[in-house]
Amino acid sequence: MKKTILAIAAMFMLNQADAQLTIQKDGVGADVSGTILVKYVDASTVFPIETHLIVTNESGADASWRITRVKQSVPATWTDQICWPPSCFPTSGDVYITPNTSGNPAPIVLNASNMTTDGYLAEIKPTITPDLAFSSTSLYMYYVTDLSGNYVDSVGIEVNFLLGIEDVAPLIQVDVSPNPANELLTISLQGVIDASVQIFDVLGNEVYNGLVTESKLINVSSFNNGVYFLNVQSEGVDPINKKIVVKH
């Protein structure tokens, strides 16, 4: 996994407080904040790929938020943009932050609501267009921050573009337990014998890198309390991403 997020790590302060928001795909169902959404698409898909993520403010007060889009692992020939009230913005570079200027201030999301003070729906809407010439996988991260750049929450989108049925990778399963973890974390593999494993904190810092053969115990007793992202990669299969929580 390409660790481009380190370019903005200094902007974020790890926030271990209770959740300040919820994010729902299409405005319904489970809260997907802190998770990675996985999409499988092929040449028959209508592009660009749109994802509608509705944000509800649960902080107890009106809040001004910005979105930082990070290309965590994205082919250079893919393109994307992001919508966040009141506009859609063409992105550039590995890191893009929605504006907060006198002419285009960051939206204020009403407390206990998914609406902004100027009547817009608080929707994170990424649009992504793969390079249709070859099969590839990408991971985009979307970080919600306050106006000072402090981390509030996040959601990721992994897009797997397949040219044809022959490109479909074998299915593997990764089990992580316990989750939340206190001292020891067990990673178990099904469908492959071994894989490389990386663990990143919410700032994109790599806190673990190693190999797993069928199963492995990882000591997380020295990890800070909080959310981490597990990335599992094995030759010939699509990478697997999971959210884990450490709570001592």
Of the pLDDT bands very low, low, confident and very high (cuts 50, 70, 90), residue 18 is low
Q: Is the pLDDT of residue 165 over 80?
A: no
Cα 159 from Cα 172, distance rounded (Å)? 17
Question: What is the rounded CA–CA span in Å between residue 176 and residue 13?
Answer: 27
CATH number, domain at 25? 2.60.40.10
Same domain, 31 and 122: yes
Q: What is the tally of helices (H) and strands (E) in the chain? A: 0, 20
- Which domain-ending residue is among 112, 144, 167? 167
Both 13 and 85 in one domain: the answer is yes
Average pLDDT along the chain? 86
- The pLDDT score that the predictor gives to residue 10 is 39
- CATH code at position 188: 2.60.40.3080
Q: Which residue has the higher pLDDT, 13 or 160?
A: 160
* 35 shares a domain with 104: yes
Name the DSSP letter for residue 116: B
Instruction: Clarify whether residues 192 and 82 are in a common domain.
Output: no
**Is there a single domain that holds both residue 137 and residue 230?**
no
Q: Are residues 150 and 177 in the same domain?
A: no
pLDDT at 152: 92
- Interval 23-76: pLDDT, tens: 999 998 888 888 888 888 888 889 999 999 999 999 999 999 999 999 988 999
Give me the mean pLDDT over the 77-87 stretch: 96
Tokens of 201: 């904190």
Instruction: Say if residue 9 is in the same domain as residue 80.
Output: yes
How far apart, in whole angstroms, are the C-alpha atoms of residue 19 and residue 16?
8
Average pLDDT over residues 6-18: 43
DSSP annotation of 103 reads S
Q: For residue 178, is it left (φ>0), alpha (ψ between -120 and 50) or beta?
A: beta
Residue 5 has pLDDT above 70, yes or no: no
Q: How many domains does the chain have?
A: 2
Residues 45-70: b if buried by 16+ CB within 10 A, e if exposed: eeeebebebbbbbbbeeebebbbbbb
Whole-angstrom Cα distance, residue 155 to residue 143? 7
Q: Above 80 in pLDDT, residue 1?
A: no
% of the chain residues with pLDDT over 90 = 50
Among 145, 167, 189, identify where a domain stops.
Answer: 167
Domain boundary residue, one of 167, 193, 215: 167
Do 149 and 39 share a domain, yes or no? Answer: yes
> Which pTM was predicted?
0.69
Give residue 95's pLDDT.
93
- Judged against a pLDDT cut of 50, whether residue 15 lies above it is answered with no
For residues 177 and 151, membership in a common domain is answered with no
pLDDT range class, residue 170, cuts 50, 70, 90: low
Looking at the structure, tell me whether residues 36 and 56 fall in a common domain.
Answer: yes
Query: What is the phi/psi pair of residue 5, to 5°?
Result: -65, -20
pLDDT bin (cut points 50, 70, 90) of residue 142 is very high
Task: Specify whether 118 is located in the same domain as 193.
Answer: no
What is the three-class DSSP state of 242? strand
Q: By residue range, what is the domain housing residue 189?
A: 173-246
Task: Give residue 3's pLDDT.
Answer: 44
Same domain, 20 and 108: yes
